[in-house]
Amino acid sequence: MTAKLFLQAIIKFLAGVILVGALLFIPAGTLGYWNGWLFMGILFVPMFVAGIIMMIKNPELLKKRLNAKEEESEQKMVLALSGIMFICAFVVAGLNYNYKWLILPKWTAIVAAVVFLLAYALYAEVMRENTYLSRTVEVQEHQKVIDTGLYGVVRHPMYMATVILFLSMAFVLGSVFSFAILLCYIFIIAKRINNEEQVLGQGLEGYREYMQKVKYRLIPFVW
């Protein structure tokens, strides 16, 4: 563990808290937007705990997760589209609360929060299984194909977890309109997966054979 890595992690964490909070509560016009606080809690508390665990047990993985600089041009576009999608979804959720466009019952937010946390646990399990995970599409030095656990079910279990996370997020925020926006993530992640598999197929030994062994990319028996 280094002071530089710790400082980088804390700065990015606090920046994320401030940014998401601003995107939610400013459009909501109030700090009384309880869905926003619920979402902030289930997003950032587990994120903080996971960051501490990685800092202690696997700082190299934390370093990879903090690196978001893509080299692939297609992936740069994917990141840009994802950023626009999230900004729109958060702002619309806040506006929905502010102007009472379509208010969902509180129990939907509670159920969605449980689903969100289960997806978070799934995401954590994927990170435990695959220490080569980074936020950029690349082939790392000494990287090996992981084909056990969830990787024996679908080729991209991390993305499967994020789909569940992001779609449930809209209901935590109490906004059907945000859900409609976040559905775009399915098409965005499909583009990312196609490009990622081209990169891994060309540069990672054994990945083409793995693709033949595990047929489904994201959803078992579907795609």
Query: For the CA atoms of the chain, what is the radius of gyration?
Result: 18
Q: What are phi and psi of 30, to 5 degrees?
A: -165, 155
Q: Return the pLDDT at 59.
A: 75
Residue with tokens 């793995």: 210
Q: Return the pLDDT at 6.
A: 76
Q: Return the pLDDT at 219.
A: 86
Report if residue 219 sits inside a domain: no
Cβ(136)–Cβ(69) below 8 Å: yes
Question: What total number of domains does the chain contain?
Answer: 1
Report if residue 85 sits inside a domain: yes
Cβ(80)–Cβ(180) below 8 Å: no
Give CA–CA dist 153/129, Å, rounded.
13
Report if residue 39 sits inside a domain: yes
Report if residue 222 sits inside a domain: no
DSSP single-letter state for residue 47: H
Report if residue 179 sits inside a domain: yes
Report if residue 221 sits inside a domain: no
Report if residue 220 sits inside a domain: no
Of the candidates 148, 221, 220, 223, the residue with the CA atom closest to the CA atom of residue 193: 223
Give CA–CA dist 9/69, Å, rounded.
15
Range of the domain at 180: 3-213
Mean pLDDT per 10-residue section of the chain, whose length is 223 residues: 76 93 98 97 90 77 64 74 95 97 94 96 84 56 77 89 94 97 93 85 83 88 81
Cβ(6)–Cβ(25) below 8 Å: no
What CATH number corresponds to the domain at position 51?
A: 1.20.120.1630
E-strand stretches of the chain: none
Give CA–CA dist 103/106, Å, rounded.
9
Q: Return the pLDDT at 17.
A: 95
Give CA–CA dist 27/178, Å, rounded.
13
